[in-house]
Structure 1
Amino acid sequence: MYTPSTPQQPLGSGFGAASTTAEVIAGIDLTGRTAVVTGGYSGLGRETVRTFLAAGARVIVPARDTARAEKALDGIGDADRLQVWPMDLLDPASIDAFADRFLATGDPLHLLVNSAGIMAAPLTRDARGFESQFATNHLGHFQLTARLWPALVAAHGARVVQVSSLGHRYSPVDLDDPHFERGAYDPWVGYGRSKTANILFALALDARGRDSGVRAFSLHPGSIAGTGLEKHVDPRMLKGAGMLTEDGTPVLDPARGLKTPEQGAATIVWAATGPALDGHGGVYCENCDIAPYGPDLTGRTSMAQSRRLYGVQRYAVDPDTADRLWTLSERLLGLTFATAATA
């Protein structure tokens, strides 16, 4: 087991809950850098792509439906620096094909933002029998990052950003029953497990990648209604949590994590590009800064309760659990993630 190199405590970044992507990217030039942003054609991912393009980066957006993605991204920035390539996070062969295509270019990969995800979905399983939230939100991104690893190392200073959520507070990972094959399925518990897995993956990846110049971060961006992520959620629940008014209008209150896309994506952009994080890694961030530890939670935490809390649960940044999840992920996917620390 390893000791995280960066303390899980705020840096005093100078930014906050209401900071926007324009504010955190100010003065940062991404010319000559390449980024891959999963989920980059909607919601926070789309705003992240727009911001990277505005700062001069070349951006590749993987998408299951490329026509839909291209339409959503039309006019977002310099078309010469934006590409949409096919990929499905539930299809291992398509992930390999995407990575092979990228590696064949010989280009380094400077920024990998793993933003795509599903939330509180009914129980569905992929062709392998894997529960869809764990498979999409964690395992698909684990495989993608593993396959793109040579390009990340070639950047000589890459960052991998795992977009997690306050939803990690709903549940630790269950390493013995990750796909609800024995226990009863609960969509919010499934979501919580997958979001905790995002944080643990960033912790383990940073420990293995830092000697190769690859640093990893996880974060909660805030909650933004209307992105499509909430399509499986009963609007009455969102109203009860204070996220929607009675007529269905999204509530904006950055102090409670209820943000615009520009505010929500700011923490993603800060984690990917912020100079304050140079030399740091493996930490969970909120509101454009490293988050503190949150109060320990026991039992099921409701959406409304979670919104009044802050910080990261200690079970989500436990190095031993991160190592065990890494081993489980390799076994489930049938691959060896050969970083310098494990090669």
Structure 2
Amino acid sequence: MNHKQHPLGSGFTAASTADEVIAGIDLSGKNVIITGGHAGIGLEVTRALTRAGASVTTASRNPDLAKQALSGIGNVEADQLDLLDPASIDALAARWLETGRPLHLLINSAGVPAPRERTVDARGYEVQFATNHLGHFQLSLGLLPALRAAHGARVVNVTSGAQRLSGIHWDDLYFTADYEHTMAYAQSKTANVLFTVELDRRWAQDGIRGYATHPGIVVGTSLNGAGGEEGLRAMGLIDESGRPIIDPDREKKTPQQGAATIVFAATSPLLADTGGVYLRNSDISELDDEPRPFDPQHPNSAVTSHSVDPESAQRLWALSEELIKA
């Protein structure tokens, strides 16, 4: 399979921060929407982009709570979005289009903690797939006219190294037969990458490029805290006293370090002629298909072939179009 997963040699490392990768970049006049931009890694992305001059809209289920979290940050506003509610997604897109503003950056960052028991939305869709992939897929399509109007836009889909663990379960997309929360999460993260690959193929001619970003494992985010202290210790994220373990070379990062690859994807001139790729540690990831058991202490986050397969990407796009019509 021909692929574009060749590191650039960006000069950044696993320890680089969002402020370091955006240094010297001026985003004045640029408009940004980021889902989940009021908390965790998303909040650090919002801070970095606004400091560089961008006008940022954060989209979240509770805009009032988001406004509290964003207090003191200039050039930012909060809007309402529920990624499990198709009407809410359409409403946000419609409100933006009504303003006539071009959209230079769409950062699909929000996610849902992996429920231990199988959970579905009102349509019967498994919630991790529905939130992490389908909701962002629908939002991106709804905002396409504004992305085109930017005459040079980027869509950044926040994924995870967990994409290595599972392809798309085409015969049982919602895990009706055998639910395992980790595999359901991994499938949704693979979907993020495949969506990126096909988005870039379809929309690059309109000046819209797509990037999938693995931020690393950040202690203190709602997603990584879902397993409680016991789960965090098992992953090597906190010590016996409950203090975070920061070791960027083994994926364990601060929020500023976790935000770096997202900001790199959103702003780096090194990516001007490249899209449809999976990034980690503020660079394009290598392709690694060597089978290895999952080791939470030494995770491997390089992208695999099943996550960037163009035929799977086209198949998922077609399927997703049908699912959001239901």
Match of 2:303 among 312, 327, 333: 312
Query: Share of identical aligned residues, percent?
Result: 50
Matched, 1:98 2:87: no
How far is 1:174 from its partner?
1.1
Cα offsets for 1:6-57 (capped at 9, x unmatched)? x201000011111111111111000000000001010110000011100000
Q: What is the aligned partner in structure 2 of residue 339 from structure 1?
A: none
TM-score normalised by the chain length of structure 2: 0.96
Q: What is the aligned partner in structure 2 of residue 323 from structure 1?
A: 314
CA distance in 2: counterparts of 1:225 and 1:61, whole angstroms: 22
Which residues in structure 2 correspond to 1:1-343 (within 5 Å)?
7-75=4-72, 77-78=73-74, 81-122=75-116, 123-181=118-176, 183-297=177-291, 301-302=293-294, 304=296, 307-334=298-325
What is the letter of the counterpart of residue 233 of structure 1?
G
Larger mean Cα displacement after TM superposition, 238-247 or 315-324: 238-247
What is the letter of the counterpart of residue 209 of structure 2?
R
CA distance in 1: counterparts of 2:97 and 2:28, whole angstroms: 20
CA distance in 1: counterparts of 2:83 and 2:41, whole angstroms: 18
Query: Matched residue of 1:30: which SS?
Result: coil
Q: What is the aligned partner in structure 2 of residue 338 from structure 1?
A: none
Q: What is the aligned partner in structure 2 of residue 340 from structure 1?
A: none
Larger mean Cα displacement after TM superposition, 233-242 or 108-117: 233-242
**Conserved 8 A contact 2:287-2:304:** yes
- The alpha-carbon distance between structure 1 residues 3 and 153, as it changes in their structure 2 partners (threshold 3 A), is farther
What is the letter of the counterpart of residue 296 of structure 2?
A
What is the letter of the counterpart of residue 26 of structure 1?
A
CA distance in 1: counterparts of 2:187 and 2:301, whole angstroms: 18
How far is 1:3 from its partner?
6.5
TM-score normalised by the chain length of structure 1: 0.92
Query: Matched residue of 2:83: which SS?
Result: coil
**Conserved 8 A contact 1:120-1:233:** no
**Conserved 8 A contact 2:160-2:301:** no
**Conserved 8 A contact 2:113-2:222:** no
**Conserved 8 A contact 1:175-1:328:** no
- The alpha-carbon distance between structure 1 residues 120 and 303, as it changes in their structure 2 partners (threshold 3 A), is farther
CA distance in 2: counterparts of 1:236 and 1:297, whole angstroms: 27
- The alpha-carbon distance between structure 1 residues 194 and 86, as it changes in their structure 2 partners (threshold 3 A), is same
Query: Matched residue of 1:304: which SS?
Result: coil
Q: Which runs of 4+ in 1 moved over 6 A?
A: none
What is the letter of the counterpart of residue 71 of structure 2?
D
CA distance in 2: counterparts of 1:331 and 1:302, whole angstroms: 33
Cα offsets for 1:65-120 (capped at 9, x unmatched)? 11111111111x21xx2110111000000000000000001110000000000232
Aligned length: 325
Larger mean Cα displacement after TM superposition, 226-235 or 155-164: 226-235
CA distance in 1: counterparts of 2:295 and 2:103, whole angstroms: 36
How far is 1:172 from its partner?
1.0
CA distance in 2: counterparts of 1:303 and 1:150, whole angstroms: 43
CA distance in 2: counterparts of 1:60 and 1:270, whole angstroms: 19
CA distance in 1: counterparts of 2:78 and 2:257, whole angstroms: 25
CA distance in 1: counterparts of 2:119 and 2:219, whole angstroms: 24
What is the letter of the counterpart of residue 47 of structure 1?
E
**Conserved 8 A contact 1:167-1:195:** yes
